[in-house]
Chains A and B, each alone.
Chain A
Amino acid sequence: MSDLYANAIGHWVIVVIAMTLLLFVVLTATAYTVWFERVALGHIQRRPGPNRVGPYGLMQMAADGVKLAFKESFVPSKTEHWLFVIAPCIAVAAAFLSWAVIPIGLWYNVQYWIADINIGVLLVFAFSSLNVYAIMIGGYASNNKYSLLGGLRAAAQLISYEVALGLSLVPTFMIVGSLRLRDIVDYTVSWGPYHGPIPLILLTPIGFVIYIIAAVAETNRAPFDLPEAEQELIGGFLTEYSGLKFVMYYLAEYLNMITVSALAAIVFFAGWYLWVVPPIIAFVIKIVLLLFLYIWLRGTFPRLRYDMLMRLGWKVLLPLAIINVIVTGIILVATQG
């Protein structure tokens, strides 16, 4: 497979096939993430969750999707029409673009990727921060004070937590010495008799904690879902959206969840390496467990107040991330000279 990537025509053929497949796989995964979330939240609240449409309610998202797709494509009259339509498109495009650089181990020596670039992680961050524009423009174009407030909150929140999110991964890069995601997965150690890949969380546990908190905030998920706080903002930037445009925001949110979970699996849990488990299954297991962590957090913690959110971001996570970088640097210099 790697030979095919080296061939110019083979490269393009494989990339086009991969992109098409990815679209279906990721869309299906998103639908079942929604199902998984609803069922898991249901069980946390001691109810079964959706279980009517199809076996175990597995067709629920298909039913919901059809219902939403057939709704009237409605644009309120006093909105900025073009921006109103473009904003959800930006959200979905940004969410999908991240998957261009995320590699997936299919089998023992077969890996798949669309773009294998040496600044992979930076690109993921760059694309995920495009989400700010989607939410801000959506909030502004809705011409609705609640939407605007939601958009502003989102902008402030995403900018605040992006810093901590980026810094939380810096120790990993320092240890591995590469920003290429495949290199991070393939990072091997020789500890006494053991030689092979290790989950990097063993070396950067604090980085993982910061990453998870910042990632939850970055994807606007509970308990950091202030931009769409129902009680105060009636749904924030989503207030005026319905039908397919709402689906696009929704899709982007869950896609971002999967993206940051996949990134966490790659960066902190050795990606597709898990003892004797086949790589693709190992990778999926790790992503599902991380998604469960997300849902578990949502089912447990109440939403933060806005000033608490800012305090946590700037006064706790950011200093902690910087100290983490410095301490890792000192230890690296001490051990490797």
Chain B
Amino acid sequence: MADDEESKNDAAGRPDHPTPLRGPNEGLPAKPEGKRSSVAADVGALATGLKTTLGEFFRPAVTLEYPEDKSPRSERYRGRHYLRRYDNGLERCIGCELCAAACPVGCILVIAAENTDENRVSPGERYAKTYEINMLRCIFCGYCEDACPVQAIVLGPEYELSDTSREKFIYTKEKLLEPLPPDVQARLDAKKKEPT
């Protein structure tokens, strides 16, 4: 047996005819035996087709009328970003730039500045003086959200981000600090209270 196989190999040692993993008819449905098509059967098949389409004609549409009706987003849907605040109004972001480091496409720009007693923006030592996301580059992977040690950045449910100029796609800190949609906010609040 071994000799036999060796003789089939070519110069490079590859088998001449590798044994196929599947036979030619393996996995195929068995052919019906002795069944021949007749005119009656063919016309019947046509009638079945017509019956099917007429049945579908009277059933309601399965499509959504998009601008009015929208399909529900998953809770974990990754849409546009938001920067969150604490309940007392201070920004969560501490300007650590871990989100920018985690970003695979480098679309986040963070420039940090020191908090002072006169100008306290966040509870930590530093805060983000500039926080910009280039939404044209963003791939909505959510790594920034994972990387953030203070849960400052989250990806919300919005996905209709079209605009009229490229400049408008660079979301500034001001835009990112817009309040979250109430349902997302409520969900995040509930998560916070859960024991970890």
The interface of chain A, by Cβ under 8 A from chain B, is 40, 42-48, 51, 296-297, 299-301
- A47-B57 contact given A296-B50, A301-B46, CB 8 Å threshold: no
Decide if B59 touches A46 in the complex (CB within 8 Å).
Answer: yes
Number of A-B residue pairs with CB-CB distance less than 8 Å in the complex they form: 35
What is the bound-complex CA distance between A29 and B58, given in angstroms? Answer: 24
Question: Contact check: which of A47, A297, A299, A300 meets B61 at CB < 8 Å?
Answer: A47
The reply on B65 being an interface residue by CB < 8 A is yes
B interface residues, tally (CB under 8 Å): 15
Say whether B65 contacts A299, CB under 8 Å.
no
Known A299-B53, A300-B49; 9 more pairs at CB < 8 Å: A40-B57, A43-B56, A43-B57, A43-B58, A44-B57, A46-B60, A46-B62, A47-B62, A296-B57
Residues in chain B near residue A43, CB distance under 8 A: 56-58, 61
Q: For residue A48, which residue of chain B has the nearest CB?
A: B61
Q: What residues of chain A lie closer than 8 Å to B53, measured between beta carbons? A: 44, 296, 299-300
B54 at the interface (CB under 8 A from A): yes
Distance from A303 Cβ to chain B, minimum over Cβ atoms (Å) = 14
Quick one: closest A residue to B60, CB to CB? A46
6 A-B interface contacts by CB (under 8 A): A40-B57, A44-B57, A46-B63, A296-B57, A299-B53, A301-B46
Question: DSSP majority for the A interface?
Answer: helix
* Residues of chain A lying within 8 A (CB to CB) of residue B50: 296-297, 300
**A46→B49 contact, CB < 8 A:** no
Cα A299 to Cα B65 in complex, Å, equals 22
A152 to B52, CA, bound (A): 34
Which 10 pairs, one residue from A and one from B, show the smallest C-beta to C-beta distance?
A47-B63, A300-B53, A300-B49, A46-B62, A43-B57, A44-B53, A48-B61, A44-B57, A47-B61, A299-B53
**What separation, in Å, do the CA atoms of A290 and B164 have in the docked complex?**
48
The reply to whether A301 and B49 form a contact with Cβ atoms under 8 Å apart is: yes
CB pair A296–B54 under 8 Å, yes or no, is: yes
Residues of B within 8 A of A300 (CB): 49-50, 52-53
Tell me, in angstroms, the Cα distance from A296 to B53 when the chains sit together. 8
Interface residues of B in 4-58 (CB under 8 A from A): 46, 49-50, 52-54, 56-58
Given A301-B46, A301-B49, also A48-B56 (CB < 8 A):
no
**A48 CA to B56 CA, complexed, in Å:** 12
Asked if B59 and A48 make an inter-chain contact with CB atoms under 8 angstroms apart, the answer reads no
The distance from the CB of A99 to the nearest CB of chain B, in whole angstroms, is 30
**Which B residues lie within 8 Å of A299 (CB)?**
53
Contact: A48 with B63, CB < 8 Å? yes
Tell me the nearest residue of chain A to B39, going by C-beta: A316
Measured in the bound complex, the distance between the Cα atoms of B65 and A46 in whole Å is 13
A75 to B173, CA, bound (A): 54
- CB of B46 within 8 A of CB of A46, answer no
Across the two chains, which residue of chain A brings its CB closest to B46? A301
Interface membership of chain B positions 158-173, coded 1 if the CB is closer than 8 angstroms to chain A and 0 otherwise:
0000000000000000
| Residues of B close to A45: CB separation below 8 A | 56
Candidates B46, B52, B58, B65; contact of A48 at CB < 8 Å: B65
Rounded to whole angstroms, the CA-CA distance of A42 and B57 in the bound complex is 8
A36 to B194, CA, bound (A): 57
Expressed in whole angstroms, the minimum distance between the Cβ of A290 and any Cβ of chain B is: 15
Pairwise interchain contact A46-B54, C-beta atoms closer than 8 A: no
Q: In whole Å, how far is B144's beta carbon from the nearest beta carbon of chain A?
A: 38
A101–B56 CA distance with the chains assembled, in angstroms: 38
Bound Cα distance A43, B57 (Å) = 5
Interface residues of B in 57-76 (CB under 8 A from A): 57-63, 65
Complexed CA–CA distance, A258 and B59 (Å): 27
Measured between beta carbons, the chain A residues less than 8 angstroms from B59 are 46
Hey, which chain B residues are within 8 Å of A44, CB to CB?
Answer: 53, 56-57
Q: How distant is B61 from chain A, measured CB to nearest CB, in Å?
A: 5
Closest Cβ–Cβ distance, residue A286 to chain B (whole Å): 19
Residues of A with C-beta under 8 A to B62: 46-47
CB neighbours (8 Å) of A48 from chain B are: 61, 63, 65
Q: Which residues of B contact A296 (CB under 8 A)?
A: 50, 53-54, 57
